[in-house]
A and B are shown apart, each in its own frame.
Chain A
Amino acid sequence: MEAGEEKSKKAGGECFYEVFEEEIHQVIVGNRLFKFGERVAIGASGGKDSSVLAYVLSELNRRHSYGLDLFLLSIDEGITGYRDDSLETVKRNEVQYGLPLQIVSYKDLYGWTMDEIVKMIGLKNNCTFCGVFRRQVRSKFLHSIPSLSKFLQNRLFCFMILCLVEFLKALDRGAALLKVDKLVTGHNADDIAETVVLNILRGDIARLSRCTSITTGEDGPIPRCKPFKYTYEKEIVMYAYFKKLDYFSTECIYSPNAYRGFACEFINDLERLRPRAILDIIKSGEDFRIATTTKMPEQGTCERCGYISSQKWCKACVLLEGLNRGLPKMGIGRPRGNVNGDYKDIKARSTAKTIESKQCGSLDF
């Protein structure tokens, strides 16, 4: 890595962050991530990746006259005791960086908070792990905007999918609500390399062909960009340290290694052996020869909310319907029996009022 060599030759923090910022700038310009005048939402969780991203993007926008209308976009999942703390960090970032902040909550979008969802699931299943996965949810969400890979190895696979699906959908819907042109997330090189490895392990050829794209969803309502695609996580931490940036981080009160997935440890071991392996994995992901004839899930729209979906109903609507009907397990795991029949049944009953379920949040977009 030429930049890496160049970096090692210079001494001190000042040269480091100059090189760091220039690299990000080259990634943005080289990949034509933005156009002049675009309104860009920065997905902000209060963690180090998004805090550094907000700061750097704001600096580069000013220095190189990108002409972008930047603002911070945060999601409030409604996790008591932690999300409110991280949102306080984002509010401070709003003042420090001079960027407007928009907070969208699960409550506003779906009518449910994660606390309420957890409570519902816990009661239905008499789940003795309630405290365990609530704590996991907190520690996972608070580090950074979650990437698929960080959760997939967890034993509570279904629940994590629930949180993840809803979080990502909320992010997109929040951006759609606010009429933005682009959405940027703080996924770094380590995240993307981890995703490549996990998609190989899981046999997901569809995701494997697109998980290294620096811009995804260009056909959808709002493209999603990852300016930190080639940036190591360690560099982000160093940059935050040198710039004394304010970000929220917490470690699980149990052993930090207890909850790390296999792939995450593997990536870390690789990086120790050969630091450039992270970028090599990304290069492999970009170079894979995947035939266009390989069958990919067809993209359509959800019948209910119009969002992108390969099924009749998108995952969020299925989960939401399950919650509203008092069936929180619906949409989790593989459907049993006839999928079409199930959906027809759902559709038939959707007009009927159910007394025990809560009032549905507004889904009119």
Chain B
Amino acid sequence: MACNSSGCESGCYDREKDNGSKIVDDAVSGGGNHESVCVKCKCNAPMTFGDGGFDDGRFCADCFRNNVFGKFRLAVTSHAMITPSDNVLVAFSGGSSSRVSLQFVHELQIKALKNYEASRDRSLPVFGVGVAFVDETAAFPALSTEMIDAIEWVRYTVSCLSPPAKDLHVVPVESIFGSDSLDARDRLLKLLDSVPDDTGKEDLLLHLKMLSLQKVAAENGYNRLVLGSCTSRIASHVLTATVKGRGYSLSADIQHVDARWKVPIVLPLRDCVRLEITRLCLLDGLKTVELACRSQCGINDLVSSFVALLQEENPSRECTIVRTAAKLTPFYFNKIPETDDSNVPMATQRRLKRFNLKYDGSMTTEAFCPICNGPLNRSDSSELDTFEEGQESDVLYAACCSSCRFQILPQDGSSLEQFSSFLPDHMISQVKHQKVDSQAYLREKIKDCLLLDDEEVV
């Protein structure tokens, strides 16, 4: 069984032990499986998915579903992901994980609406929900037909999830390059073509998609962005980040909450493994659409295959990986920023205190890579100080993390200059902003020294 929370340590081992003994019992009983009942409720017949999962045939439909939804709801309430006054944008790609997150957010909204209508004073409003789908046709022209079909299907799916009604935002990935569609598309293609490394190209596109989601969320008044990342996806990310030398910023990416962006990102399905999500889609008849698999040959695909192989060998491997990484120190932005909003439910406040999550609150002057928005290690960002009158592309090089320098930025000067001219304005402005911050920091340092000198004179 997947771990319910990154906070429970000894409990995990106990549960794993129970699972182990349970498997042995099943093996011993053999034919006795026909007479078995649900492990949890003891009255219904357990389901069999036939997918080779280790816990197949243990739970009935209702208990399995309640278990998965329970993990979702616990994550939402424990980390204050969604509160009554929020306006939530669900990123929906058509895959099973985002489909389940969309469904669960919808169910939360329905319950909130019922509570609102049932209460006399109507003090707690119902949070709003919108859906965003990123259109990648510009990056993969060969997929244009499939993408059109997928968008139609997404529209239909979102319209079925009402009441309450939900706005659908179809976001072309090139929208961050400007409002002129043709020019934006051209810049996107040139930008991607200037990255020779396959893995770097994949990662750059991922960063651009995140920027486009952030843009549409900010422009339409959303204050939360829900991603459907599950345990399996995060386990792969842990290893890919490690392999790319991003050990420092890794812990920022895998927490339930990521508020370094303008619109905080929340991962309510973080504690559910892909197998559970796949089963839930089968169980509830949630349809998904998978775009044609692009022939992947980079590091990301190698790591995904590796994690899948490990998961077959040991069903709790993905949880172990995520739990290991969860012990790394989170950053100060890995929690919902505190506001004076007194609408936060009391239960949520109690849970936040109970978990007592430890954050690194001291490093509030964190610098970020302009391309991947990862926090920079002190040694990585020290180069930024040496540039004062440098060219824009040189400043960009100094501001990036070592991983993006290697796999995304071109290596020679003229290509780098051309590359920076293709970048979205948001990334460029971030570089300039960071440079100004760095210079301001230096000025304050010098000022302190001068004050000391004055004091000595006196």
Contact = CB atoms under 8 A, between A and B. Distances in A.
Contacts of B325: 200
B315 interface: no
B239 A289 contact: no
A14 B323 CA distance: 48
Contact of A290 (B302, B320, B327): B327
A208 interface: yes
B416 interface: no
Interface of A: 196-197, 199-205, 208, 262, 266, 269-270, 273-274, 276-277, 279-281, 283-291, 293-294
Interface centre among B245, B358, B377, B402 (most CB of A within 10 A): B245
B328 A200 contact: no
B321 A201 contact: yes
B245 A280 contact: yes
Contact of B324 (A199, A273, A276, A280): A199
Contacts of B251: 288-289
A203 B13 CA distance: 11
Interface in B294-329: 298-299, 302, 306, 309-310, 313, 317, 320-321, 323-325, 327-329
Contacts of A201: 310, 317, 320-321, 324
Nearest to B406: A276
Given A274-B199, A274-B299, A285-B247, 11 more contacts: A201-B324, A203-B320, A203-B324, A262-B313, A280-B244, A283-B245, A284-B244, A284-B246, A287-B245, A288-B250, A289-B248
B324 A200 contact: yes
A266 B246 contact: no
Contact of A266 (B245, B306, B317, B360): B306
Interface in B38-70: none
B242 interface: yes
A289 B299 contact: no
Given A197-B239, A273-B299, A289 B323 contact: no
A294 B239 CA distance: 21
Interface residues of B, number: 35
Given A200-B239, A201-B317, A294-B327, A289 B360 contact: yes
Given A262-B309, A270-B302, A289-B251, A281 B242 contact: yes
A269 B320 CA distance: 23
Given A197-B242, A205-B327, A294-B327, A273 B298 contact: yes
B403 interface: yes
B11 to A, nearest CB: 14
Contact of B241 (A204, A279, A284): A284
A270 B243 contact: yes
A288 B246 CA distance: 9
Contacts of A291: 329, 358, 360
Nearest to B375: A289
A294 B324 CA distance: 12
Given A270-B243, A293-B358, A288 B328 contact: yes
B238 interface: yes
Which secondary structure characterizes the binding site on chain B?
Answer: helix
B306 A262 contact: yes
B248 A287 contact: yes
Contact of B377 (A202, A279, A287): A287
Contacts of B243: 270, 277, 280-281, 284
Contacts of A294: 327
Contacts of B247: 283-288
B230 to A, nearest CB: 18
A287 B377 CA distance: 8
A286 B245 CA distance: 9
Contacts of A203: 320-321, 323-324
Interface centre among A197, A269, A283, A284 (most CB of B within 10 A): A284
B317 to A, nearest CB: 7
A270 B360 contact: no
Contacts of A199: 324
Interface string B319-343: 0110111011100000000000000
B82 to A, nearest CB: 28
A13 B377 CA distance: 37
A289 B247 CA distance: 8
B362 to A, nearest CB: 12
A202 B360 CA distance: 25
B324 A205 contact: yes
A28 B328 CA distance: 29
Contacts of B199: 273-274
A158 to B, nearest CB: 15
Contacts of B329: 289-291
Contacts of A277: 243-244, 299
Contacts of B250: 284, 288
21 contacts: A200-B321, A200-B325, A201-B317, A201-B320, A201-B324, A204-B324, A262-B309, A262-B310, A269-B302, A277-B243, A277-B244, A280-B243, A280-B245, A280-B403, A283-B245, A284-B243, A285-B247, A288-B247, A289-B251, A289-B360, A291-B358
Contacts of B239: 197, 200
A200 B238 contact: yes
Contacts of A200: 238-239, 242, 321, 324-325
A130 to B, nearest CB: 25
A208 B358 contact: no
A188 B327 CA distance: 27
Contacts of A270: 243, 299, 302
Nearest to A202: B320
Closest 3 CB pairs of A and B: A284-B247, A280-B245, A287-B248
Nearest to B17: A334
